Structure 1
Amino acid sequence: MRFIFKTDYEDDIRLFPHSGYVWTYGTLLVLLAIAPFVLSSYIMSQLVFVCIYATVGVGLLILSGFTGQASLGHAAFLAIGAYTAAYLQQYDVPFLVYFLASGLLTGVIGALVGFPALRLQGIYLVIATISFAFIVEEILARWESVTHGNEGMRVKTLSMFGVVVPRDSPGFYFLCLGFLILIIIGTLNLLRSPTGRAFIAIRDSETAARSMGVNVALYKVKAFAISAAITGFAGALFAHKLTFISPEMFTLLLSIEFIIVILIGGTFSLHGAVLGAIFLVMIDPFLTYLKDDMPGIIAGSASALGAGKETASNIQSNVAAFASANGLKGAIYGFIIMVFVLFEPLGLYGRWLKIKLFFQLFPLYKRATFKRQKIYVKSERNR
């Protein structure tokens, strides 16, 4: 077991608390660097989606996990970034220019969304962000001169410094991975800054933060702007990965998937965004398998149990209709959310911390170590 003694402020804010982190993350980077040369194209494609979803997860963590502002409208921010990149690309704008424009424009719109949401909390803020997502989806469908409406837009192959980078090439994977690492390092530095500490203070108690001189309204708008900007950057990469975008791709279900990323991974650490993205992206092939094969399996089971052919056929048709309407995917997502909220509220990263602490303290580990303490201060009564 390792004991870390902090003797100055530099020890408290350093990126790596001890040398073990350097070796661990260094080994991980080496494995990620050689992955394109040893893994199949399908797995590499999934890893690219993991990088993009993890980037969105980091942005959502800044808003929801560290500032305490709920949002179900991040699919709209992703759409704004994707459409900005696709639109500017039509005029032969260089990649770096429209990539930066995607993030900056989305960040400005995120700040504008943050202003009317200042007086909203809880379920009312969720409703406001859902309304914003519906408005953006409708604008994308109606503004045909810019977005081509429901016909969608083709996205050309990425070209940077005169070099073409196809979506399935190792270069595109390294681009997405490098940007994810950059965003994670930037977010870690943000959280160690006065701005990040203000975010956390607002999450813990707005009343206490306001009494300590924190401009709550300003930092809430900052959180919306930063979170939206990161999601806009991910939207540009998302558009290049799919090569085609349309309004039907940025629905409320996609926003729910982003919530699942941080909920399953863990809402208190950046590790949770990566772990949640891995879980969500890798479970999608399993859901596709259920959607395609479950009707026949259930019908065969019903027939084996003695049901008639007509009954088995009816069961198969009903399950197939349920699955084809995306009801199966939504139902499984809802079940996963309930399981994690009830039995593992700290997410996958929280479970990993419990396992690691168990082996560190064995045989003195106590289950009550991670039990949440209900502590209320008098200032909370005014909220």
Structure 2
Amino acid sequence: MRVLFKTTYNQDIDHLADPAERIRVGLVILVALALPLFVSSYFLTELAMFICYAIAGIGLMVLLGFTGQVSFGHAAFLGIGAYTQAALLMRGVPFLVALPLAGLIAGAIGAALGRAVSKMHGFYLAVATLAFAIVTESVIGAAGPITGGHMGLQVPLITFFGHEFSEGWQVYYLYLAVLLFIIWGVANLMRGPAGRSMIAVRDSETSAKSLGIDVAGVKVRAFFVSAAITGVAGGLLAHLLFYLSPETFNLLESLRLMLMVVVGGLGTISGAIFGAIFVSFLPNLIDALRVILPSAIADQAGLEYLLFGAIIALFIIFEPQGIYGRWLKLRLFIETYPYYRRATFIRQKRYLKSERFR
């Protein structure tokens, strides 16, 4: 088993304290940079879609995994970012200005929602965010002059200084750069006072208050950061969808984001990445199940909702740490073999925020 010998206090807040972890992350980045040399344009488009969901997953992770606030309406911020991006580009705003503005507008709306629900917990918070998503979908459909209503809205191409990004590799590298910047920013946020206060609120609001932390303010800031990141993901996603409609950002999309962070692993940035990988392959799994299952079940319209809910419930019960937690267990098993102890991880389970003692 690897033991880290720390010689400075700065090592306690290093992003990657383990040299082996630095090597693994560096190899992943190198592979990501080299992929356009070996894969087709179609596969690059699929990777760009995965990056969008990874960014959205990181946004939801800030709220759910780091602050402990349940949200069943995060697809609304995805839609707000997408429609804001398209509307700004149609009015001549440059891409480099439109994308941050899309994130800021989504973040401002998220902060307003966070202020309204700052006293809610558990089931009531989930219902409130779900109601917000339903209202947002209705507002987008009714705001025809801005959003195109239920007829939809066409998204302009990405343009940099008069040059259109029409090639798959150009879009892929742009999205990859945004993803790496978001990961770097969130990692720095979580090792600072603001991020540590979010974790304190997640673990125990009573203890956080006793330490002088403004719990309501922390929740509002968490909603702002989470919604802003998700809005940026929505702005990028709009260019892959090419055409927006209110039905795209429905309850199923919110469940997809929730599934991503729970299955990937709550409380870690890596968990959002693992969850995005799982969600990317999930449609293929559902298509395979439709072939196997009887037609009376496979043709049901709510099959996706049933599968998403079942997968979330199974992971919460049997693997609360998600796929990333399973990877940690596998890595520890390899490092300590043959001295691995089965009971090592019993005390390290994580659960969603509920009505337990706060």
Say if 1:186 and 1:141 are closer, same or farther in 2 by CA, change over 3 A.
same
CA contact (8 A) 1:50 1:274 kept: no
Say if 1:76 and 1:7 are closer, same or farther in 2 by CA, change over 3 A.
same
Q: Give the equivalent residue in structure 1 for 2:56.
A: 56
- Matches of 1:142 and 1:193 in 2, distance apart? 41
- Matches of 1:160 and 1:369 in 2, distance apart? 52
**What are the equivalent positions in structure 2 for 1:235-250 lying under 5 Å apart?**
235-250=234-249
Partner SS for 1:16: coil
Q: Bigger CA drift: 253-262 or 40-49?
A: 40-49
**Structure 1, unaligned runs of 5 or more:** 299-315, 375-379
Q: Give the equivalent residue in structure 2 for 1:206.
A: 205
Q: Give the equivalent residue in structure 2 for 1:313.
A: none
Does residue 257 of structure 2 align to residue 258 of structure 1?
Answer: yes
CA contact (8 A) 2:99 2:235 kept: yes
Post-superposition shift, 1:320?
Answer: 5.3
Residue identity opposite 2:124 in structure 1: Y
Q: Give the equivalent residue in structure 2 for 1:124.
A: 124
Post-superposition shift, 1:12?
Answer: 0.6
Q: Deviations over 1:314-357 (max 9, x none)?
A: xx4x34541xx2x2222222222222122211100000000111
**Structure 2, unaligned runs of 5 or more:** 350-354
- Matches of 1:373 and 1:71 in 2, distance apart? 23
Partner SS for 1:6: coil
- Matches of 2:51 and 2:172 in 1, distance apart? 8
CA RMSD of aligned residues (A): 1.7
Partner SS for 2:116: coil
Q: Give the equivalent residue in structure 2 for 1:342.
A: 317
- Matches of 1:72 and 1:25 in 2, distance apart? 31
Q: Give the equivalent residue in structure 1 for 2:178.
A: 179
- Matches of 1:14 and 1:106 in 2, distance apart? 30
Q: Give the equivalent residue in structure 1 for 2:230.
A: 231
Which protein, 1 or 2, shows the higher relative CO under an 8 Å CA cutoff with sep ≥ 6?
A: 2
CA contact (8 A) 1:50 1:277 kept: yes
**What are the equivalent positions in structure 2 for 1:293-332 lying under 5 Å apart?**
293-294=291-292, 298=294, 316=295, 318-319=296-297, 321-322=299-300, 325=301, 327-332=302-307
Task: Give the length in aligned residue pairs.
Answer: 353
- Matches of 1:12 and 1:61 in 2, distance apart? 22
CA contact (8 A) 2:289 2:298 kept: no
- Matches of 2:61 and 2:141 in 1, distance apart? 29
**What are the equivalent positions in structure 2 for 1:1-383 lying under 5 Å apart?**
1-166=1-166, 169-291=168-290, 293-294=291-292, 298=294, 316=295, 318-319=296-297, 321-322=299-300, 325=301, 327-372=302-347, 383=358
CA contact (8 A) 2:65 2:266 kept: yes
Post-superposition shift, 1:22?
Answer: 2.7
Residue identity opposite 1:226 in structure 2: V
- Matches of 1:287 and 1:44 in 2, distance apart? 22
Q: Bigger CA drift: 10-19 or 245-254?
A: 10-19
- Matches of 2:334 and 2:249 in 1, distance apart? 43
Partner SS for 1:183: helix
CA contact (8 A) 2:204 2:357 kept: no
Post-superposition shift, 1:373?
Answer: 6.8
- Matches of 1:279 and 1:381 in 2, distance apart? 30
Q: TM-score normalized by structure 2?
A: 0.94
- Matches of 2:80 and 2:213 in 1, distance apart? 31
- Matches of 2:272 and 2:64 in 1, distance apart? 12
- Matches of 2:232 and 2:356 in 1, distance apart? 40
- Matches of 2:269 and 2:31 in 1, distance apart? 20
Say if 1:223 and 1:94 are closer, same or farther in 2 by CA, change over 3 A.
same
Q: Bigger CA drift: 23-32 or 93-102?
A: 23-32
% identity of equivalent residues? 44
- Matches of 2:356 and 2:7 in 1, distance apart? 37
CA contact (8 A) 2:62 2:226 kept: yes
Post-superposition shift, 1:176?
Answer: 1.1
